[in-house]
Structure 1
Amino acid sequence: MTTEQSPDEYWLFGYGSLIWKPPPHYDRRIPGYIKGYVRRFWQSSEDHRGTPEAPGRVVTLISRSNWEKLNDHHEADDVIWGVAYRIEKPKVEEVKKYLDIREINGYSIHTVPVHQADPTLPPIITTVYIGTPDNPQFVKDIPSADDLARHIFDSRGPSGENREYLLHLHAAIMELHPRSRDNHIAELAEIVNMLIARDGRGFSDPSTDEQEEVES
């Protein structure tokens, strides 16, 4: 199987905010999953869901080989569900520039095959933005689920409250396909919802138009 994108098509895989906040100029949206990675809320956000003084947390992907070295106590799913977007050919360069601007907070470009929900259909070779463990925004100290959920609950940045990002992501993953799930995100969402019920505060309006980082 080829691991390079066709020169005639440009596909992007979204596994974070891009699931519910898609890129511009796409003409196909296909739910699917990738293998060989773990999705974690271990990327600091200083420009969207937090500030430099108090960074929030957003998701990144970690290769299985790297993840197995991190002594993580959180449960890992077998696959990562998300969305593959095909960008209109005349707009590919424009969208790449847009994504490169959004990718300023520690993410780098990789290529992954996305498996479609229908196993009879071939994988789609896509571009994906990943905050690898060697990027400066990666959270090196692995927190407990309770501590991470509390951090997300308390954080806020120019794009709005960190907990809003988490709960949007959880809902978006659950809506992708009857088999789609993410146990790490579901656990955090459950804890944050309990904190919201205890605290009694809903979401506040973001202070600016939301333009999420590409934790795709």
Structure 2
Amino acid sequence: MDEFWVFGYGSLMWNPGFAFEERLTARAFGFRRSLCVWSYVHRGTPEKPGLVLGLDRGGSCRGVAFRISREDREDVLDYLRRRELVTNVYREKMLPVLLGDGRQARAVGYVVDRQHVQYAGALGVEEAAEIVRASVGQSGPNDAYVFNTLAHLKEMRIRDHWLEGVGASVAARLQAAV
């Protein structure tokens, strides 16, 4: 089988930016979606960094797998490398995934490099919520990034209890400040 799949767990799920032949929900095992990457530009500043998603060790992660045509494979890889490897906080990996229709496949995915300076580590819900609530970068408030992600996940019927907890805590803090 010479199929080429790409696994998305964040904005790639709803904004892939490349052509694909098939799109299915998928689960990657051994990794979880996490706000574990410091953002010094888009959702924070060097003085007050924000948090963005990374695929970190442990658990499993529901996301989306895209099947790419053989003809588009190299162009898609080039695009993904320009998009995901800007600061090298992610490592390109072939991940075993279970596709929504029950098939198993291997998919290119971008996993956080735990040795990179931008790796924030495993944060608790309240700690992550406080950082998200207080951070703003060139692409806007960090909380907007989290709320947008949660809205897309809900629309796709993907639950992420930890991220939902962060969102609920941020919303409660914002409400209390009013």
TM-score in terms of structure 1 length: 0.73
Q: Residues 157 and 107 (structure 1 numbering): CA distance in 2 closer, same or farther, change over 3 Å? A: same
1:104 to 64, 69, 86: 86
Q: How does 1:56-205 map to 2 (within 5 A)?
A: 56-64=50-58, 78-102=59-83, 103-105=85-87, 106-118=89-101, 121-140=102-121, 142-177=122-157, 180-199=158-177
CA contact 2:129–2:166 (8 Å) conserved in 1? yes
Q: Residues 87 and 117 (structure 1 numbering): CA distance in 2 closer, same or farther, change over 3 Å? A: closer
Q: How does 1:4-23 map to 2 (within 5 A)?
A: 8-23=2-17
* More strand as a share of residues: 2
Residue ranges of structure 1 left out of the alignment (5+ in a row):
1-5, 65-77, 201-216
* RMSD between aligned residues: 2.0
- Structure 1 residue 129 displacement after superposition: 0.6
Q: Which residue is equivalent to 2:49? A: 55
Residue ranges of structure 2 left out of the alignment (5+ in a row):
none
Aligned residue identity for 1:56: G
Identity between Structure 1 and Structure 2 (%): 30
- Structure 1 residue 11 displacement after superposition: 1.3
Aligned residue identity for 1:194: A
CA contact 2:36–2:56 (8 Å) conserved in 1? no
Aligned residue identity for 1:189: G
Structure number with greater CO (CA < 8 Å, separation at least 6) is 1
Quick one: distance in 2 between partners of 1:196 and 1:29? 36
Equivalenced residues, count: 176
